[in-house]
Structure formats: structure tokens, C-alpha cells
């Protein structure tokens, strides 16, 4: 359980609660028994299906009943239904799981059932080659992005929703462009620069644009650094920005880049002399200079700069002092 406040309840209050719940409990247990025994006897009827709906409404985490429901569809109901009827049933389940997700946005089993529904949407209504050969699937898949956007508006860090978003984008019959996804992540970041999930998604989209090289194509870099510059100045204490910046800087092969960014961060540090993240980043990039361009830099000065900053960090961020000490030892 997460985020449930502890309340001290007297014995009387607890007893009253127990009595109130007794009827609910008895109902729940008898419903469960009914459904599980039908499952055992391989009951794939319409009636069984309705009972699973009832049970899952009360307890959407009861994974065995989701399994049973799907088996009822596959073994009992679909074989005696037309493709249109199957699509209707699937569309209904998509609708009811949307309701369930609003109340339980982090329950894996509900998300799983949605995927199953999408993947089992039949081809049609038209025959292959006809204009509407894929309309049912297109409709269901298009709606998914809308569903996921609603859930991400409600909780922009919900990783179930982000994973599902990636799944939908990768699987939709008519794919969306990488550019439109970049724009979506930008909107999320502008709404809250702390949204690491959005920064993470951005890193994936940019990497995909780099295709085989795996690195971000240069035409996107300027926009990224501008975005980061704004974010850094808006909230220098937000770690999302700095973690992302470190990735964008890459392995340090471009000396000019490193030096430009170090200078920019130093300017920010001058304004915010207690900024742990400015110090941490400058140390990291100066280490990269030392590692990748040892013959083109003033080694002695850089080492001294790093040691100086590390000493400051040990005082500023005492919880992590050992790491700063370890880095210092490595520098010698």
C-alpha cells in the first residue's frame, strides 16, 4: 500500500466497520467462489462473462479473473460470433477498462487487458484491399493515444501510461511522426520541467532520429541546448535537467561543445554559488576534457578546479561526500 495515512481506530469503530463490511465480504466471497468454480468446470458462457465483469469491477487486481474473462471470449463467445460482434465486444471492454483505469491508473492487469483487446480487434469491416479493410483496428488504436493522453494529464509521471504510449506509437496502423512526439514531450516539459518521464521520452525520440549511429543528429542539438538553458535558469536545482544535459553532452568528443557548456554553467554558478548541480556538472565536463583532450588543455588548472569544486560539494552535499572523495582520488 502506498500513501495511505495511518488512523488510530478504537475497538468499537473497528467492530462497527467489520459488521458493515460483513455483508460486502460475504457477497464478495460467494461471487469469487461462483466464478472460480465455473472456471474450473470450463464454463465459457455469457453468464460467466457477466459474473467476471461484476467481480473485476470490485477487484480489478484479481488477475486470474482477467485470464478467465479472456478465455471465455476465446473459447466460448468469439467462436460463435461474427467479426462485427467481436469488434463490438472488444470495443465495450476497451470502454470499461478506461473507466477502471481512471480509478486505478497503476494496475498492470488493466493495462494488459487493453493490449489484448487492441491485439484481438478483428480486421474489417471491409475485405482486404478495400478502403475500410482496417477501419476497426484504426479506430481502436487511434483512440488509445487519446486515452493515454488523458491519463498522462492526470499524472504526468505515470510510467504505465508512458510505457503504454510507447507501445501504441510503435504499433499503430498509421504511425505518428517523431517530430510530433518531440512536440508532445516539449509540451509536457513546459508544463513542468521536473517531468523526468518527458525528458526520458525525449531522449528516446532523439535517439531514434539518429538511427544506427545512436547519437542525436546535429540539427537537433541547438534546440535541445536552448531548451536546457531555459530549464536550468528556471530551476537550477532540478536534477532532471542536469541528468539530461549530461547525456546530450555525450562522451566529450567535441572539445568546443564542452568548453562552451562549461562556460555557460559557470555563469549560472556565479549567480547561484550554492548550486550543487552546476558544480557536479562542471566537474564532470572538465574530467571529460582531461580524458578526451589531454594534449589540448591546461591539465594542472583543470585538476585544481575539479578538486576545488569537489571540496565544496563535500560540504554542500554531505550525504554523498564519499562519492566526491572517490572522484577526487581518481583524479590524482
Partner 1 sequence: MTSISSSLQLAIPLHVSYIKALGDNKDDLTYHLTAHLRMNAVYWGLTALCIMGHKEALPREETVEFVMSCWDDEAGAFGAHPDHDAHLHSTLSAIQILLMQNALDRIDIHRVVKFILSLHQPSGVFAGDSFGETDTRFLYCAVSALSLLGQLHLLDSEAKERTVNYIVRCRNFDGGFGSVVGAESHAAQVFVCVAALAILDRLDAVDEETLGWWLCERQLPNGGLNGRPEKLEDVCYSFWVLSAMSILDKIPWIDVDKLIGFILSAQDLEGGGIADRPGDMADVFHTLFGVAGA
Cβ distance to partner 1 smaller for residue 74 or 263: 74
Please answer whether residues 63 and 109 qualify as being in contact, where contact means their C-beta atoms are separated by less than 8 angstroms: yes
- The binding track of 212-251 with respect to partner 1, each residue x by CB under 8 A or -, is --------------------------xxx--xx--x----
Residue 62 or 220: the one with the smaller Cβ distance to partner 1 is 62
Which member of 13, 16, 21, 155 binds partner 1 (CB under 8 A)? 21
CB 280 within 8 A of CB 314: no
Dist. CA 288–CA 28, nearest whole Å: 62
**Residue 306: CB partners within 8 Å, gap ≥ 6?**
283, 286, 287, 327, 328, 331
Provide the phi-psi class of 131: left if phi over 0, else alpha when psi is between -120 and 50, else beta.
alpha
- In Å, the largest CA–CA distance within the chain is 80
| Least distance to partner 1, CB of residue 58, Å | 8
**Closest by Cα among 219, 62, 282, 207 to 53:** 62
> Which lies closer to partner 1 via its Cβ, residue 124 or residue 194?
194
Spatial distance between the Cα atoms of 322 and 75, rounded to a whole number of angstroms = 60
Q: How far is the CB of 186 from partner 1 (least distance, A)?
A: 17
Report the interhelical angle of 178-191 vs 196-209 (nearest 10°).
160
**Would you call the peptide bond into 45 cis, given omega within 30 degrees of 0 as the criterion?**
no
How far apart are the C-alpha atoms of 255 and 293, rounded to whole Å? 7
Q: Which of 223, 224, 293 is nearest to 258 (CA)?
A: 293
CB of 82 to partner 1, least distance (A): 25
How many residues of this chain bind partner 1 (CB under 8 A)?
55
Contact set for partner 1, span 137-166 (CB under 8 A): 157, 159, 162-163, 166
Dist CA 264 CA 278 (whole Å): 10
Among residues 34, 49, 53, 70, which is the contact residue for partner 1, using CB under 8 A? 70
Of 54 and 204, the one with the shorter C-beta distance to partner 1 is: 204
Identify which range of 34-42, 120-128, 218-226, 289-297 contacts partner 1 by CB under 8 A.
34-42
CA 182/CA 203 separation, integer angstroms: 9
Residue 63 Cβ vs partner 1, minimum distance, rounded to whole Å: 6
Minimum CB separation of residue 25 from partner 1 in Å reads 5
Between 1 and 127, name the residue whose CB sits nearer to partner 1. 1
Q: State which of residues 81, 96, 203, 266 lies at the interface with partner 1 (CB under 8 A).
A: 203
> Is 257 a binder of partner 1 (CB under 8 A)?
no
Please give the residue ranges that form the binding site for partner 1 (CB under 8 A).
1-8, 18, 21-22, 24-25, 28-29, 32, 36, 39-40, 58-59, 61-64, 67, 70, 108, 112, 116, 157, 159, 162-163, 166, 194-197, 200-201, 203-204, 238-240, 243-244, 247, 318-320, 322-323, 326
Amino acid at each position: 500500500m502506498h500513501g495511505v495515512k495511518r488512523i488510530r481506530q478504537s475497538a468499537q469503530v473497528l467492530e462497527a466497520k467489520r459488521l458493515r463490511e460483513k455483508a460486502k465480504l460475504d457477497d464478495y466471497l460467494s461471487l469469487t467462489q461462483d466464478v472460480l468454480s465455473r472456471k474450473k468446470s470450463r464454463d465459457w458462457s455469457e453468464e460467466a462473462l457477466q459474473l467476471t465483469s461484476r467481480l473485476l469491477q470490485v477487484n480489478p487486481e484479481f488477475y486470474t479473473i482477467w485470464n478467465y474473462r479472456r478465455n471465455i471470449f476465446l473459447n466460448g463467445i468469439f467462436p460463435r460470433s461474427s467479426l462485427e460482434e467481436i469488434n463490438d465486444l472488444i470495443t465495450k471492454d476497451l470502454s470499461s477498462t478506461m473507466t477502471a483505469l481512471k480509478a486505478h491508473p497503476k494496475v498492470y492487469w488493466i493495462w494488459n487487458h487493453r493490449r489484448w483487446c487492441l491485439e484481438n480487434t478483428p480486421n474489417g469491416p471491409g475485405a482486404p484491399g478495400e478502403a475500410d479493410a482496417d477501419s476497426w483496428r484504426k479506430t481502436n488504436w487511434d483512440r488509445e493515444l487519446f486515452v493515454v493522453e488523458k491519463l498522462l494529464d492526470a499524472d504526468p509521471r505515470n510510467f504505465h501510461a508512458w510505457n503504454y504510449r510507447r507501445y501504441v506509437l510503435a504499433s499503430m496502423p498509421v504511425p505518428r511522426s517523431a517530430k510530433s512526439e518531440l512536440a508532445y514531450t516539449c509540451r509536457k516539459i513546459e508544463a513542468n520541467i521536473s517531468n523526468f518521464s518527458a525528458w526520458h521520452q525525449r531522449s528516446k525520440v532523439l535517439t531514434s532520429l539518429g538511427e544506427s549511429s545512436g547519437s542525436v543528429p546535429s540539427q537537433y542539438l541547438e534546440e535541445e541546448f536552448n531548451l536546457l538553458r531555459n530549464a536550468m535558469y528556471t530551476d537550477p536545482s532540478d536534477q532532471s535537467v542536469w541528468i539530461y544535459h549530461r547525456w546530450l553532452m555525450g562522451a566529450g568528443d567535441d572539445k568546443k561543445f564542452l568548453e562552451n557548456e562549461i562556460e555557460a554553467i559557470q555563469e549560472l554558478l556565479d549567480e547561484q554559488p550554492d548550486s550543487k548541480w552546476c558544480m557536479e556538472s562542471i566537474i564532470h565536463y572538465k574530467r571529460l576534457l582531461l580524458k578526451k583532450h589531454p594534449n589540448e588543455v591546461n591539465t594542472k588548472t583543470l585538476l585544481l578546479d575539479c578538486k576545488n569544486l569537489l571540496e565544496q560539494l563535500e560540504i554542500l552535499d554531505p550525504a554523498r561526500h564519499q562519492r566526491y572523495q572517490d572522484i577526487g582520488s581518481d583524479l590524482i
